[in-house]
Chain A
């Protein structure tokens, strides 16, 4: 489940007022989250939670829900 903190980090990075983000939402359907901006969103999430992802971990994520789960798993480590 997408947390408010996680969602707000994404919205702030993409300079969006609001956007409905669900577990199944694909990154490329969020306005501004294109291939060039992708890495900026990842870095913003890493900074927000003080975590560091491995490249392969992010590349395996199929949707935003997977990214949230990845953050959760890193925090709980």
Chain B
């Protein structure tokens, strides 16, 4: 007897469900994605046009499944920026180009501001004025900060004449809505993405192998390490820091550095991996951020697609405008850029404080550069291995202080973490930690190895794995997915950057 298929259940799975977003790394995603890949590879045998439409359809479905009716907003943003780019390019007058750019910025930032910051400012106003204005019922559209920045980069690149607008809306729409990077980046540039759309590349065997390895790496980082250490220890401590000793708070602070790296770079690996399986290359977002020798260097290595966006479209124009003030102008441009960076991450005081803190670090570093150089020259420290070590050590700890605010639900919670570390420190806890948290200890050590492994070692492992036959990668991927299902502490946790 042929088993009957319950199509209503399949439709149910494919329908928008805010409680069950389509996240990379979930079984639902892999199930749907495998079905799509089967169809995609079948269509790949033909010309590029059906592939483009299939990718577009899957990308729109992918967004709809998690974002529902907010898909309309995504399409609106796409249309507005497409038209803005077209008219900027077509118009000969620089002042008209500028006017279109400014109007387009007002629309985009206005939308972002409405959805992300309205309730924040209402709360702030209530606190200051003592009023009781009710907050609006506003749902944050999924990935809005990412896709608005991506769409804006398209318009900025046309304005700065590094890109000509595309005349085919379908190609452009795939750039804006591509399922691989729509939710949490990377914020790829049109100059790098659109040629791939036009090429209509079919994934090679190398793409599939590399893609599988990226997915494995992403699953290990996100679903095993980040989720486990967060739920078993770090999130509990940060929720109620006063219930834990200073030692546990300190371990949670160091652990959070591992957690956020594994969470976000794990997400990026998954995004790069799934994109490779359909033949697309996304940009990498991370380059060993914790071995940065300064906070400025950290931002060249952390969330690279976002920091490049801030650099090209916000910091550099600001810096040029303020150049009459010399280094003070640059310091001011840094402070403004990083305050906005903090706000972009979330509408809360700790996020804004975190951004300002990074701005302060970098401004202070810039203004004291000459004095510090004179000092290290005088004590013959400049360019010595010890100097390099101290630079990395200090930078890492400055970033670590920032993460406490980044992860905190309130400023009070963040200060309580420091309070516990400095007033309730129990060194003996270090010895007992493994007994209390054996799994967390093991995954923390694994995370440290992943974060600090030399690039050469990682590259060598990857090269050797790539030499193995494709079937091996498929088996390795299946084992990893099985392992994730076994180890997963509870339900799959949303990515930290998912909320931005």
Interface positions of A (Cβ within 8 A of B): 34-36, 38-40, 42-43, 55-56, 58-60, 62
Query: How many Å lie between the Cα of A42 and that of B161 in the bound state?
Result: 20
Instruction: Kindly state whether residue B349 has any CB partner on chain A within 8 Å.
Output: no
Instruction: Select one of B320, B334, B366 contacting A42, CB under 8 A.
Output: B320
Instruction: Select one of A39, A58, A60 contacting B161, CB under 8 A.
Output: A60
B377 nearest CB across to chain A (Å): 13
Query: How many Å lie between the Cα of A62 and that of B312 in the bound state?
Result: 12
**Is there an interface contact between A55 and B315, defined as CB atoms closer than 8 Å?**
no
Query: How many Å lie between the Cα of A34 and that of B161 in the bound state?
Result: 22
Add 4 more A-B contacts to A36-B330, A60-B162 (CB < 8 A).
Answer: A36-B334, A42-B323, A60-B160, A62-B162
For chain B, residues 308 to 343, give those with C-beta under 8 angstroms from any C-beta of chain A: 311, 315-317, 319-321, 323, 326-327, 329-330, 334
Residues of A within 8 Å of B311, CB to CB, are: 35
Known contacts A55-B317, A55-B321; A39/B329 CB under 8 A: yes
**Is there an interface contact between A59 and B296, defined as CB atoms closer than 8 Å?**
no
**Is there an interface contact between B315 and A43, defined as CB atoms closer than 8 Å?**
no
Query: How many Å lie between the Cα of A68 and that of B10 in the bound state?
Result: 62
Chain B count of residues within 8 A CB distance of the other chain: 20
Known contacts A35-B311, A39-B329; A59/B323 CB under 8 A: no
Query: How many Å lie between the Cα of A58 and that of B326 in the bound state?
Result: 17
A-facing mask of B275-312, CB < 8 A → 1, else 0?
A: 00000000000000000000010000000000000010
Query: How many Å lie between the Cα of A15 and that of B438 in the bound state?
Result: 53
Residues of A within 8 Å of B334, CB to CB, are: 36
Instruction: Kindly state whether residue B93 has any CB partner on chain A within 8 Å.
Output: no
Instruction: Kindly state whether residue B368 has any CB partner on chain A within 8 Å.
Output: no
Instruction: Kindly state whether residue B94 has any CB partner on chain A within 8 Å.
Output: yes
- Closest partner residue, chain A, to B97 (CB atom): A56
Residues of B within 8 Å of A35, CB to CB, are: 296, 311, 315-316
**Is there an interface contact between B319 and A38, defined as CB atoms closer than 8 Å?**
yes
Known contacts A36-B330, A39-B329, A39-B330; A59/B366 CB under 8 A: no
Q: A39, A43, A59, A62: which has the most chain B beta carbons within 10 Å?
A: A39
- Closest partner residue, chain A, to B327 (CB atom): A40
For chain B, residues 71 to 117, give those with C-beta under 8 angstroms from any C-beta of chain A: 94
Query: How many Å lie between the Cα of A48 and that of B315 in the bound state?
Result: 25
B256 nearest CB across to chain A (Å): 28
Instruction: Select one of A34, A58, A62 contacting B320, CB under 8 A.
Output: A58
Residues of B within 8 Å of A43, CB to CB, are: 323, 326
A53 nearest CB across to chain B (Å): 8
Query: How many Å lie between the Cα of A42 and that of B311 in the bound state?
Result: 16
Q: B160, B334, B366: which has the most chain A beta carbons within 10 Å?
A: B160
**Is there an interface contact between A39 and B162, defined as CB atoms closer than 8 Å?**
no
Query: How many Å lie between the Cα of A59 and that of B158 in the bound state?
Result: 12
B382 nearest CB across to chain A (Å): 14
Residues of A within 8 Å of B162, CB to CB, are: 60, 62
Residues of A within 8 Å of B315, CB to CB, are: 35
Residues of B within 8 Å of A42, CB to CB, are: 320, 323
For chain B, residues 155 to 191, give those with C-beta under 8 angstroms from any C-beta of chain A: 160-162
Residues of A within 8 Å of B316, CB to CB, are: 35, 38, 59
A23 nearest CB across to chain B (Å): 17
- Closest partner residue, chain A, to B323 (CB atom): A39
**Is there an interface contact between B94 and A56, defined as CB atoms closer than 8 Å?**
yes
- Closest partner residue, chain B, to A37 (CB atom): B330
For chain B, residues 244 to 270, give those with C-beta under 8 angstroms from any C-beta of chain A: none
B333 nearest CB across to chain A (Å): 8
Residues of B within 8 Å of A55, CB to CB, are: 317, 320-321
A27 nearest CB across to chain B (Å): 11
Residues of B within 8 Å of A34, CB to CB, are: 296
Query: How many Å lie between the Cα of A35 and that of B296 in the bound state?
Result: 9
